[in-house]
A and B are shown apart, each in its own frame.
Chain A
Amino acid sequence: MDNWTFGFTMVVVGMGGTLLTLWILGFCMNILKKFFPYKKEEGGK
């Protein structure tokens, strides 16, 4: 594979893939926080 194709693919798919993956993880965190909400009593433990 030529360097131009490789570089372009890595930049676009790499940056996009990282952003998308972390967005998905952030979304999962929001779901977890909804299912397991923080209880004030936990602050004292």
Chain B
Amino acid sequence: MIGTIGKALYGLVDGFANLHWSNPVMIVVGLVLLYLAIKKDIEPVLLVPIGFGCILVNIPLAGLMEEGGFLRIIYDSGVITEVFPLLIFVGIGAMTDFGPLMENPKIFLLGAAGQFGIFLTLALALILGFTQKESVSIGIIGACDGPTAIYVSSQYAPHLLGAISVAAYSYMSLVPLIQPPIMRWLTTKEERVINMGVVKKSVSKTTKLLFPLVVTIVGGLIAPKGLILLGTVMLGNFMRECGVVSRLTRASENEIANIVTLLLGIAIGATMNGKVFITPQTLMVLALGFVAICLDTACGVIFGKILKVVTGGKVNPLIGAAGISAYPMSARVVQKEGQKYNKKNYLLMHAMGANTGGQVGSVLAAAVMLSILRGLGII
């Protein structure tokens, strides 16, 4: 009888008895993510479910990430199958106006340069001892695009998914802190005050309608392995521009995106079990993610300087920093920096063009990378 009562009581303290030292550490990490989301307003839509999921998965014996567990079902249904990031992409495409980009198509090149950090970071990760597939997944943090990072890492380095996702979303929201010093360091005062004038409306509705189709077909033929990334973004954009499926467009931007974001956040948090997350590898992933975004910014600004020379001084190199996919934050950073040196300079629409170019560029860079891997026989 006493033994039975003892066993029953033990059942109530079992959770404490099975705590690994890393579990309370990760619970604190989850609380920090919640703090950043609520008090500092850093990507709350993602960091709240990620933070809460992180807390849930670090309470032992709950079985949430075991076969049949609540978090495991969500993870297997949406992350392993890659459905969640792709559904979010449809919403992103539906929310984006590519008009400023189409008004000045050479800005596409800034969207390309803004992705160079992906490949340079990939090389750095290889040097630091990560495997080829891990390096690909780490490099993609430089895409500054959460769904892309999740899509690639869930396939090729699922054990790094938690670290990569946290890095991707956290650094995206820190763009206003990361980019300005790099922009100032790489440009002269004379370059920063270059006035690019007003963006004139020069894009017809037909062009805007055909844009997603052209990008899907041309981009898909060049990089077929990444077509699903490209196609889902462009599907959302095509629905927006055709104007005849406003219900679907609104659902993609709102209900679908919100539901999937919630489930994706919880699933990412569920990968942050202390025993798996607290490793030297995680710290290196976080450091490399930071490096990737710095390199993106630097390459974008340097390419902006090249465009300035090629166009005879018409392009302000600062807009190169907006060639990353952190939309529209990066464009606002460029506008703010430009105004510091020339109050009459309104770089926002030019930077928006570069920023939307970065959105297309990040998806295309991932598509190109996956197609190269397929060509090399690695996937």
Q: Residues of A at under 8 Å CB distance from B?
A: 1, 3, 6-11, 13-15, 17-19, 21-30, 32-33, 36-39, 42-43
Q: Tell me whether chain A's interface is mostly helix, strand or loop, or mixed.
A: helix
**Contact residue range for chain B?**
35 or more
Whole-angstrom distance between the Cβ of B1 and the nearest chain A Cβ: 65
* Between-chain CB contacts (< 8 Å), 5 pairs: A3-B126, A7-B127, A17-B371, A21-B368, A30-B105
In the assembled complex, the Cα of A9 lies from the Cα of B374 at a distance in Å of 13
How far apart are the CA atoms of A43 and B206 in the complex, in Å? 13
The listed residue with most A CB atoms (<10 A of its CB), out of B109, B112, B372, is: B112
**Are B126 and A25 within 8 A (Cβ)?**
no
Of the candidates B102, B105, B202, B372, the one whose C-beta lies within 8 Å of that of A9 is B372
Task: Enumerate B145-178 residues with CB–CB distance to A below 8 Å.
Answer: none
Say yes or no: A39-B204 contact (C-beta < 8 A), given A14-B365, A28-B214, A32-B214.
yes
Query: Is A18 in contact with B207, judged by CB distance below 8 angstroms?
Result: no
Q: Which residue of B lies closest to A33 (CB)?
A: B207
Q: Are A18 and B205 in contact (CB under 8 A)?
A: no
Asked whether, in the complex, the Cβ of B105 is within 8 Å of the Cβ of A19, the reply is no
Q: 0/1 per residue, B23-51, Cβ < 8 Å to A?
A: 00000000000000000000000000000
State in angstroms the CA–CA spacing of A11 and B371 once bound together. 14
Given contacts A7-B122, A13-B372, A18-B115, contact A29 B218 (CB under 8 A): no
Counting chain B CB atoms within 10 Å of each CB, the highest count among A24, A29, A36, A37 belongs to A29
**Segment at the interface with A among B251-259, B310-318, B332-340, B356-364:** B356-364
Closest Cβ–Cβ distance, residue A41 to chain B (whole Å): 10
Bound state CA distance, A25 and B211, in angstroms? 9
Answer yes or no: B113 CB below 8 A from chain A CBs. Answer: yes
Closest A-B pairs by Cβ, 6 of them: A26-B105, A26-B108, A36-B206, A29-B105, A22-B112, A14-B119
Expressed in whole angstroms, the Cα–Cα distance for A22 and B303 within the complex equals 14
Chain B residues whose C-beta falls within 8 Å of the C-beta of A27 in the assembled complex:
105
- Evaluate contact between B122 and A11: CB separation under 8 angstroms: yes
Q: Kindly list chain B residues whose C-beta atoms are within 8 Å of the C-beta of A18.
A: 112, 115-116, 361, 364-365, 368
